[in-house]
Chain A
């Protein structure tokens, strides 16, 4: 597709209305969703959406307007609306939050893909899910089986009034299965892979890699076994978290607090603020020296990987936590400038309809040196937990409580009996400082999060956290069930 003439019209109209800078992002989004529930194809949909969003800058204030109307009149109205909104904000501004960008980028990017999902017959895709879902039903106690698949494709073009010209094709794929076992007033849930499925940047190879059929029977059996498993013990003990749970821990307790718009109070009324205040930069001992977390939007398979972000800045890799010390933030141009830094291109919009804002993107805990099997060494009594079931953290991202679907007691360095309802909680820096082992690269992978909420109007972001299993010492276990 090419929207260059329409884009030029939008930029010209914005300029004529008084905008000191403008950019426009055209997108064609295609979303295919299949979901099987208890042997029935409960969803099979193909959604296509085409539209554009215009950002206009006037006297320190931004205005944004979006529309699917690509007629000349529609573009003129939308551009004028963006400028009018910017002027209305500028008229009462006590503080100038924005500056017009000065960096110009031209380029293209396409997600590397081994197998185009749309070349896989729909019947084959449906059969994969029906077959996997059927295998979940190992006993009548499995009351709900689910299998799902999402295939997303986004073609976008970005144009700015200072000459940026960017075209991208982003492909993202994901799938998963879930078994809900119910008996005697208890309900136990198991999902695979991880807690939401496997979501990565790429094509149908991501769906095949999830190995839904190969794992379905085991997942069903585990859900049933949890019904009669003992309650997870409570107390202060060591925990080992599986990779997807470490991913969630990064997302909630590092990713969100490192968003610089939160730090600066721009999200204060909804998502909240952050304990990672600017005076802590280069000083705060966020975690142990084993903890290095980087944002890397160039990473192959990353769910948020792209060539350029949604305000037209080029993807880079940069440190957030380096050997335990706070070294950086997830930034946009406007927030980075206030810190005297350059943006690290962490701006995304859910769709053409949404205003671009700072999102987590690919935030990765670098792998350690310990083989996974050796994480249990030296633990006298602890719990190994896998796959998130519950997650809650305060609005400054300090006090957290997470629960997992399944756990195993660790006794004298060995994984022993299965336990149900494992939970743990703590304070973010204390928890990450208790990390004394991160598994090696053999068990490190990208875990996509397809449903991260932030902003107002609320936007659903697609983020990614690469993680390996890790060990934490002296953690409060059993919270929520034992006071």
Chain B
């Protein structure tokens, strides 16, 4: 759906609303995913959706209803339900005024027409290139190729109309060999950049390198976390950077800003405009989203806000609101870990004995306030001895304070975009001293 069509839909919903003030958010998505295992496609899907979310505001009361029936009757019905809910709701002292006119531009390159138009045959071609890499190594691949587009329009009866459109394409491959596995991924806005051969080859190479993995002792290790592992670990800090967590006391930053929490070479930002991301330049209150330095050379500097928390803390709003009302408060969107000067290869070359970790799995907080998390390695964990990767090791469980890890952390020089179903970030590999593994596996 074109932005102009979403905007017309939003304006129509506002016209049909009887509420004193109305906000409309239109989400549309058209995405497709080709999933494979054993070097054949086993699941192949496309999903198209358009949702209209209407927030009716009456004084200090508000109600929300959404629908995907887009004719006048559907929009009017949703608007009526939202207003009925508003009338039945208690007053909300934190309710912010609706946003007025503002102009935001989609970052150039966020939307690539070829990605939006990609056909299943194109995804199958990429999958086939991955299968060739697997078969060359007598392995089987499991993973996906996905392409799609999404758009958001936020409009208010106070005059705001803001739209953002983006495309996304990705490859995800797990290579399976007789005694080992490997993993590689690629994210891009432009499907033309997808390279099944290269990504499949990287995954297959890891599986080959990790064959017949050995057991190593649990305990404290020097580790080099590749971007997928580093990014997943870092994502468990995201909640701490919310102004709501900061105020609640559940964030490590609740101990105070402008204090050292990480090593001097650690700088973490939230930046929608990073070239690898090209994200949405406004938030769901219609405020401009600003790049925010969260940890500056180890010092905790800022949290992200929405209008309410900016007012409460007496700071400039960073524009990180979720759709209102919500219980989650403002949230960072894209964490960026600033790169260092050494390459991944140099880091390996300068490691006497350590572990190279491709990817983590099932990280969960053990102690939120202390930032202790646990999780497993998977799909490519290797022993480094005297500056060389000498073979695979069996998977292990870690229990580790993220802040302690960041106090002994050196970022590498090559940041890439990585992510999971609930986060995206741009990070390089990192070298961490004294990373604690607590138990092992037989595989």
Residues in chain A within 8 A of chain B (CB atoms): 35, 37, 40-51, 53, 61-69, 78, 81-82, 84-86, 88-89, 91-95, 97, 121-123, 126, 130, 143-144, 146, 148, 180, 182, 185-187, 189, 264-270, 272, 353-355, 357, 390-396, 398-399, 401, 403, 421, 423, 425, 453, 456-458, 479-481, 483
Bound CA–CA A483/B41 (angstroms) = 43
The minimal Cβ–Cβ distance linking B391 to chain A, given in whole angstroms, is 20
Q: Give me 29 A-to-B residue pairs in the complex whose CB atoms sit less than 8 angstroms apart, sorted by A's number.
A: A35-B327, A37-B327, A41-B89, A43-B327, A46-B66, A48-B66, A51-B68, A63-B120, A64-B45, A64-B46, A67-B47, A68-B49, A84-B120, A85-B44, A126-B89, A264-B37, A266-B43, A267-B142, A268-B142, A269-B37, A269-B143, A269-B144, A353-B49, A394-B362, A401-B374, A401-B399, A425-B397, A479-B399, A479-B438
B197 contacts across to A, CB distance below 8 A: none
Of B38, B45, B249, the residue contacting A355 (CB under 8 A) is: B45
Contact A88 B124 (CB under 8 A): yes
Contact B39 A457 (CB under 8 A): no
Bound CA–CA A92/B128 (angstroms) = 7
The minimal Cβ–Cβ distance linking A445 to chain B, given in whole angstroms, is 25
Chain A CB within 8 A of B85 CB: yes
Contact B42 A97 (CB under 8 A): yes
Contact A44 B325 (CB under 8 A): yes
Bound CA–CA A130/B91 (angstroms) = 12
The minimal Cβ–Cβ distance linking A150 to chain B, given in whole angstroms, is 13
B144 contacts across to A, CB distance below 8 A: 269, 456
Which one of B28-36, B312-320, B334-342, B349-357 is at the A interface? Answer: B28-36
Which of A126, A270, A391, A425 neighbours the largest number of chain B CB atoms within 10 Å of its CB?
A270
Which of B39, B48, B128 neighbours the largest number of chain A CB atoms within 10 Å of its CB?
B48
Chain A CB within 8 A of B439 CB: yes
Which of B41, B51, B94 neighbours the largest number of chain A CB atoms within 10 Å of its CB?
B41
Of A92, A122, A189, A355, the residue contacting B127 (CB under 8 A) is: A92
Output the nearest chain A residue to B359 by Cβ-Cβ distance: A395
Contact B176 A268 (CB under 8 A): yes
Output the nearest chain A residue to B176 by Cβ-Cβ distance: A268
What 5 A-B pairs come out closest when comparing CB atoms? A88-B120, A182-B249, A268-B142, A89-B41, A269-B174
Contact A62 B44 (CB under 8 A): yes
The minimal Cβ–Cβ distance linking A34 to chain B, given in whole angstroms, is 9
Of A89, A94, A399, the residue contacting B131 (CB under 8 A) is: A94
Bound CA–CA A189/B361 (angstroms) = 24
Contact B361 A395 (CB under 8 A): yes
A78 contacts across to B, CB distance below 8 A: 48
The minimal Cβ–Cβ distance linking B115 to chain A, given in whole angstroms, is 16
Bound CA–CA A146/B32 (angstroms) = 37
Which one of B99-107, B269-277, B365-373 is at the A interface? Answer: B365-373
B176 contacts across to A, CB distance below 8 A: 265, 268
Chain A CB within 8 A of B72 CB: no
Contact B67 A48 (CB under 8 A): yes
Contact B67 A65 (CB under 8 A): no
Of A45, A66, A398, the residue contacting B46 (CB under 8 A) is: A66
A48 contacts across to B, CB distance below 8 A: 65-69, 78
Contact B37 A45 (CB under 8 A): no
Interface size in chain B (residues, C-beta < 8 A): 89
Of A84, A392, A394, the residue contacting B441 (CB under 8 A) is: A394
Contact A88 B44 (CB under 8 A): yes
Bound CA–CA A88/B358 (angstroms) = 32
Chain A CB within 8 A of B4 CB: no
Contact B44 A50 (CB under 8 A): no
Bound CA–CA A88/B436 (angstroms) = 46
B325 contacts across to A, CB distance below 8 A: 41-44
The minimal Cβ–Cβ distance linking A359 to chain B, given in whole angstroms, is 14
A93 in contact with B40 given A394-B376, A398-B441, A399-B376 (CB within 8 Å): yes
B143 contacts across to A, CB distance below 8 A: 269
Chain A CB within 8 A of B375 CB: yes
The minimal Cβ–Cβ distance linking B69 to chain A, given in whole angstroms, is 6
Of A185, A266, A392, A479, the residue contacting B375 (CB under 8 A) is: A392
Given A65-B45, A68-B50, 13 more contacts at CB 8 Å?
A43-B326, A44-B89, A46-B64, A66-B46, A67-B47, A68-B48, A78-B48, A143-B248, A267-B142, A392-B364, A423-B366, A479-B399, A483-B399
Bound CA–CA A416/B366 (angstroms) = 24
Of A66, A95, A267, the residue contacting B47 (CB under 8 A) is: A66
A457 in contact with B33 given A37-B327, A85-B46, A269-B144 (CB within 8 Å): yes
Contact B34 A89 (CB under 8 A): yes
Output the nearest chain B residue to A70 by Cβ-Cβ distance: B69
Contact B48 A67 (CB under 8 A): yes
Contact A65 B68 (CB under 8 A): no
A40 contacts across to B, CB distance below 8 A: 92-94
Bound CA–CA A35/B397 (angstroms) = 35
Output the nearest chain B residue to A388 by Cβ-Cβ distance: B364
Contact A268 B90 (CB under 8 A): no
Chain A CB within 8 A of B6 CB: no
Contact B327 A269 (CB under 8 A): no
Bound CA–CA A61/B43 (angstroms) = 8
Contact A392 B376 (CB under 8 A): yes
Bound CA–CA A212/B51 (angstroms) = 33
Output the nearest chain A residue to B247 by Cβ-Cβ distance: A143
Bound CA–CA A466/B125 (angstroms) = 45
The minimal Cβ–Cβ distance linking B307 to chain A, given in whole angstroms, is 15
Contact A65 B47 (CB under 8 A): yes
The minimal Cβ–Cβ distance linking B204 to chain A, given in whole angstroms, is 13
A393 in contact with B362 given A91-B124, A456-B33, A480-B399 (CB within 8 Å): yes
Of B68, B183, B421, B443, the residue contacting A453 (CB under 8 A) is: B421
Bound CA–CA A293/B47 (angstroms) = 35
Contact A94 B39 (CB under 8 A): yes
Chain A CB within 8 A of B2 CB: no
Output the nearest chain A residue to B376 by Cβ-Cβ distance: A394
A355 contacts across to B, CB distance below 8 A: 43, 45
Bound CA–CA A270/B248 (angstroms) = 34
Which of A50, A457, A481 neighbours the largest number of chain B CB atoms within 10 Å of its CB?
A457
Bound CA–CA A67/B142 (angstroms) = 27
Bound CA–CA A268/B395 (angstroms) = 16
Of A86, A122, A396, A457, the residue contacting B443 (CB under 8 A) is: A396
